[in-house]
Amino acid sequence: MSGAETAHPVVVALRRSVGTATATATSAGLAFAAIDYLGVVSVLAYAPGATAALAIFIGGLIVLLVSGIFSELNGLYPSAAGIRLYLGRAVGNRTALSVTFTYMTTVVLVIAADAFLIGAAVRHVLGEPAALAYVWIAALLGVALVANLLGVRIAGWVQTVVTYTVLAGTAVLSVVALFHVGGAFQHPLNLFGKGGFSGIQAIAFALFLYAAFEWVTTTAEEARTPPVITRALFIAPVLIWIVSSVFALALVHLVPFSSLHGSAYPQLLLGRAALGTVGELWMLALTVLTALNTFNGGFLVASRVIYAAAREGNLPRQFAWLNLRAVPWVAVTTLATVSAIVAAVVFATGQWLLLVAVGATIEAGIYAIGSLCLVVLRGRETRERPFRLIAGKPLAVFGIVLFSVLFVATGFSDPKNAHHFSVAPIGVIMVLGALSTAYVLIFVPKLQAAAAARTAAARPRRRPPRPQAAAQEPAPAAGSSRPIDG
């Protein structure tokens, strides 16, 4: 970073240039990643056949409740630090920071899992070795990094074009597959055919299809007007619901579940079944594009959370540095680097299914906590809100119960076998939470003390009193009647 960039902390600030189309693309693009194609297969594992669409629909209705909750909370705290602010007001600052830092890992996990899946798709079609596939991922991460560093307008433009292309392209091919002769729908109404708990898990994994859509609230300081974020929170889930539903129905129509289970590229299997090589290349192109909407959108929103945390003294101050295009460049660069490292680990281990379960569990947990915040703040905050959820308090209580149940259902699910339980997802989250809590207890107090010291040192000191006139002026001449000062 150049000295010119550090010398203007007041002039350079986040800019309000995000409109509804970009905000909606950011919200939908973060949620609809390559991992969503796998998420649909996870829903199919618990809700056999075409009933996966029913689970996705129920998940969409639940997510609209989340849209209302986060719209009201964002209206109360329209800031890049919004989640930390309303969590802190509801449950205390230390708990809020621990939850926020744990929650922030969701973006990196989704990026890493997406990177692996895109690499697997490229290898499947082009027959390239894993190392070369990872080079593709590194290049796409680099493109997203550069787009973000050039400013929110460029990053927003990339997000808008790529996200709508991916959504439209997936929907069109799915509709083509639905009209393909030779397929047949299976199990039209069998959501709980594997038992009641299986149906709950199907809905929980359906929620993962929408996971991270609420991260758009972190761009509140860059939205042109406050209603932009609210509109995005309600429009994006509807787009995801439509595309995910037709994709699920198309899979059931043409591809046997035995072929889908364990596959890292079900969208390629659908493309080939629908249109042969052309369809496979079609879906490969869309899969590669999902990298841009996920990487680009992830850097855009997560960097603002990091920026806000550093601005408040909860992270090293370097993360709050802005370049001349008003981008927290240290935060963006660090996210890109960490994402590349985690993606390499996923490439080496192949544990992408675990990331799906961990991501779904964290999202269910944050929705439960968001519902709790709304209940608490309805009693504490009396000021007017730009958006107020109708029957907000009873709906939020319902959300606490519902999302807590879904948190348990996904936290103890076995991502490799729908018939078994596993402690792996909840175990990973406990480790992440413990690391976040340790950071908050050990390092945050030191950072805040250093920030307070810098503020005190920069505060203008009072000017010393001027010397008395007697010390500066000659004594009056003998016989003068002028009195001597003092």
pLDDT tens by residue, the chain, 486 residues? 433 444 334 445 566 777 889 899 989 988 898 888 988 988 888 887 778 888 999 999 999 999 999 999 988 888 777 788 888 888 888 898 999 888 888 788 778 878 888 888 888 888 877 778 888 888 888 988 998 898 878 888 888 999 999 999 999 999 999 887 665 555 555 555 555 557 777 887 888 889 889 988 888 888 888 789 999 999 999 999 999 999 999 998 888 888 887 788 899 999 999 999 999 999 999 998 888 888 888 888 888 889 888 988 899 999 999 998 888 999 999 999 998 888 888 888 777 778 778 887 888 899 999 999 999 999 888 777 889 999 999 999 999 999 998 898 888 877 666 667 888 889 999 999 999 999 999 999 999 898 888 878 877 666 666 655 544 445 544 444 444 443
How many CA atoms lie within 13 Å of 246's alpha carbon, on the beta-carbon side?
A: 18
Gap between the Cα atoms of 408 and 5, Å rounded: 47
Q: Kindly state whether residue 469 falls inside one of the protein's structural domains.
A: no
Q: Kindly state whether residue 486 falls inside one of the protein's structural domains.
A: no
Gap between the Cα atoms of 109 and 353, Å rounded: 11
Q: Kindly state whether residue 391 falls inside one of the protein's structural domains.
A: yes
Structure tokens at 441: 């207890």
Q: Kindly state whether residue 41 falls inside one of the protein's structural domains.
A: yes
User: Which domain does 62 fall in, by range?
Assistant: 16-455
Gap between the Cα atoms of 412 and 420, Å rounded: 9
Q: Kindly state whether residue 58 falls inside one of the protein's structural domains.
A: yes
Neighbouring residues of 165: CB distance < 8 A, sequence distance ≥ 6: 286, 289
Q: Kindly state whether residue 202 falls inside one of the protein's structural domains.
A: yes
Q: Kindly state whether residue 478 falls inside one of the protein's structural domains.
A: no
How many domains are contained in the chain? Answer: 1
- Torsion on CA atoms 396, 398, 404, 405, rounded to nearest 10: -160
Gap between the Cα atoms of 85 and 78, Å rounded: 10
Report which DSSP code applies to 51: G
Gap between the Cα atoms of 317 and 301, Å rounded: 18
Q: Kindly state whether residue 125 falls inside one of the protein's structural domains.
A: yes
Helical pair 196-208 and 52-76, crossing angle rounded to 10 deg = 50
Q: What is the CATH number of the domain that holds 237?
A: 1.20.1740.10
- Torsion on CA atoms 395, 25, 125, 40, rounded to nearest 10: 10
pLDDT at 480: 44
